[in-house]
Chains A and B, each alone.
Chain A
Amino acid sequence: MNFRVKAIILDRDGIRRALTRIAHEIIERNKGVDNAVLIGIRRRGVPLALRLAEKIKQIEGCTVPVGFLDITLYRDDLTQLGYHAKLSRTEVPFPVTDRTVILVDDVLYTGRTVRAAMDAIMDLGRPKAIQLASLVDRGHRELPIRADYVGKNVPTSSREIISVQVEEIDGQDQVLILEKTE
């Protein structure tokens, strides 16, 4: 299967600006971040959550706890995965009960990942609220879920793929639209 780059949606600076804006929105919406925790959904939600925490620290001068969530065991399509779906550790080394949990992911698509992540969070405790931050919202929701903070809304067709690349994992920062060429 081959892919063609159809468009670059966000470059390095674009990603930086989007995250800065989201950080401001989080602070504004929650009237500060005293009760907030950031939880990145593995894999690319993790560096994004860390960057958001860094930005919030720059703006507010306080440290927001950051956790990482592996939602594989909560997925509804587990049996359709290939043989080697490796699990990662969930690292939420703080209680989530009565906190405002801000889930961070790279792409919001069907909403199923977020559904799984919310279930996973609930099994860790009883948060006061759960909010969702996503770098890209590409539409095509299959569940009644929407993001509280969006970096960029990108209308797509289901033939297309959104490729989010982050320096920590992929060696560079950019968001692309790819198209199957077959």
Chain B
Amino acid sequence: MLTIAGLSRKQRERFFLGGKRLPSKHCLGLAALSAKEINEILENAVPMKQVISRDIKKVPALRGKTVVVLFYEPSTRTRVSFELAAKHLSADTVNVSASTSSVVKGESLVDTARTIKALGADLVVLRHPSAGAPHLLARLIDVPVINAGDGMHEHPTQALLDIFTLRERKGTLKGLKVVIIGDILHSRVARSNIWGLTKLGADVHLVAPPTLLPAGIERAGVTVHHRPEEALVDSDVVMVLRLQRERQRQGLIPGVREYARMYGLNAARLALARPDAVVMHPGPINRGVEIADDVADGSRAVITEQVTNGVAVRMSVLYLLTLGRGA
């Protein structure tokens, strides 16, 4: 057999794919992705970022495709980011949110899935309060599903944009000391980041009181601390998680004020990190609780960069999941 040098990708694929429709691929979580797959998404996000920094922020890649953005939880940031990503790729978007749809009338996800299928969606972005809901949807319909956050399980595109931002800033993730501070127990962002960062070779440290750490998390290949001072020394990245005030009522922390004192990221604590350390936060920020004002607005914070990169990374995911899906 002759090695086919000198063939364009188009020629190769004409011969080997033969116009077949490939089964749906989904983006459900980083735990299920290999380092190679994660890198593929990140690398394709680079040209996407180029597109959105042009005057004409639009390419025809997903022209004629319909992306259904189905949100069972309120979230403006993530929803808008996905919508924008789809629009930059020329897809049509349909927004279905819990407050406007039959979702509130008690229509189950299973019924909604049938409707989506009947409407001819080409891609579904799902945010749902129940872990595994996107997996259920993916089993029910032969349409690529992107998990935009499911319960405490995963929020893969958030972690991908965090990692993308770090790659831009630091070049490589290998050996980078990343400290994640906050409510790890309830955080899907933390979980997705833990799987993604460890797969790409980062040295991940978690900081939280024992009541906000999930069972057996050490087995994820991370180092667990209870005191931020201990973890922050020589860190390259500090990722701060949002603290929901209801954790006090749930008896998981003695008090928000005490939490801010013990775990809040302030200038003194940040001084323990490397001079070039960056500060990240998935937003929305509880100023004065998990992060001090001057740190959130300081020069080391890359929080607004995260937002821009979010669109590029989501464009990359949308693009990759559309491939192989036939005309």
Contacts and interface: CB of A to CB of B under 8 A. Distances in A.
A contacting B, Cβ–Cβ less than 8 Å: yes
Interface string B1-21: 110111111110101110100
Contact of B2 (A2, A87, A123): A2
A175 B5 CA distance: 10
Contact of B6 (A86, A120, A176): A176
Given A73-B59, A73-B319, A89 B44 contact: no
B322 interface: yes
Contacts of A86: 40, 43-44
A5 B2 contact: yes
B5 A82 contact: no
Among A4, A79, A175, A180, chain B packs the most CB atoms within 10 A around the CB of: A79
A84 B40 contact: yes
A109 to B, nearest CB: 9
A18 interface: no
A161 B11 contact: yes
A119 B47 contact: no
Contacts of A5: 2
Interface string A102-146: 000011000001000001100110000000000000000000000
B5 A163 contact: yes
Interface string A67-111: 000101111011111111111111000000000000000110000
Using C-beta atoms within 8 Å of the partner chain, give the interface range for chain B.
35 or more
Contacts of A73: 47, 51, 59-61, 89, 319
Contact of B323 (A82, A164, A171): A82
B6 A78 contact: no
Interface string B73-94: 0000000000000000100000
Contact of B25 (A78, A80, A83, A107): A83
Interface in B19-78: 19, 22, 25, 40, 43-44, 46-48, 50-51, 54, 56, 58-62, 65
A164 to B, nearest CB: 5
Contacts of A87: 43-44, 46-48, 316, 319
A24 interface: no
A123 B50 CA distance: 12
B131 to A, nearest CB: 26
Contacts of B327: 77, 79-80
A64 interface: no
A13 interface: no
A75 B323 CA distance: 12
Contacts of B46: 87, 89
Interface string B164-195: 00000000000000000000000000000000
A20 interface: no
Contacts of A85: 9, 13, 323
Nearest to A161: B11
Contact of A81 (B4, B43, B323): B323
B60 A90 contact: no
Given A73-B60, A90-B50, A123-B59, A81 B13 contact: yes
Given A87-B48, A161-B11, 20 more contacts: A2-B1, A73-B47, A73-B51, A73-B59, A73-B89, A74-B59, A75-B10, A78-B61, A79-B65, A81-B324, A82-B16, A85-B323, A89-B46, A89-B47, A90-B47, A106-B8, A119-B60, A163-B6, A165-B5, A165-B6
28 contacts: A1-B15, A1-B16, A2-B1, A2-B2, A3-B2, A44-B8, A73-B47, A73-B51, A73-B60, A73-B319, A75-B10, A78-B61, A78-B62, A79-B322, A81-B324, A82-B17, A82-B323, A83-B22, A84-B323, A87-B316, A88-B47, A123-B59, A163-B5, A165-B6, A166-B6, A170-B5, A175-B6, A178-B2
Interface of A: 1-5, 43-44, 70, 72-75, 77-90, 106-107, 113, 119-120, 123-124, 161, 163-166, 170-171, 174-176, 178, 180
Interface of B: 1-2, 4-11, 13, 15-17, 19, 22, 25, 40, 43-44, 46-48, 50-51, 54, 56, 58-62, 65, 89, 316, 319-320, 322-327
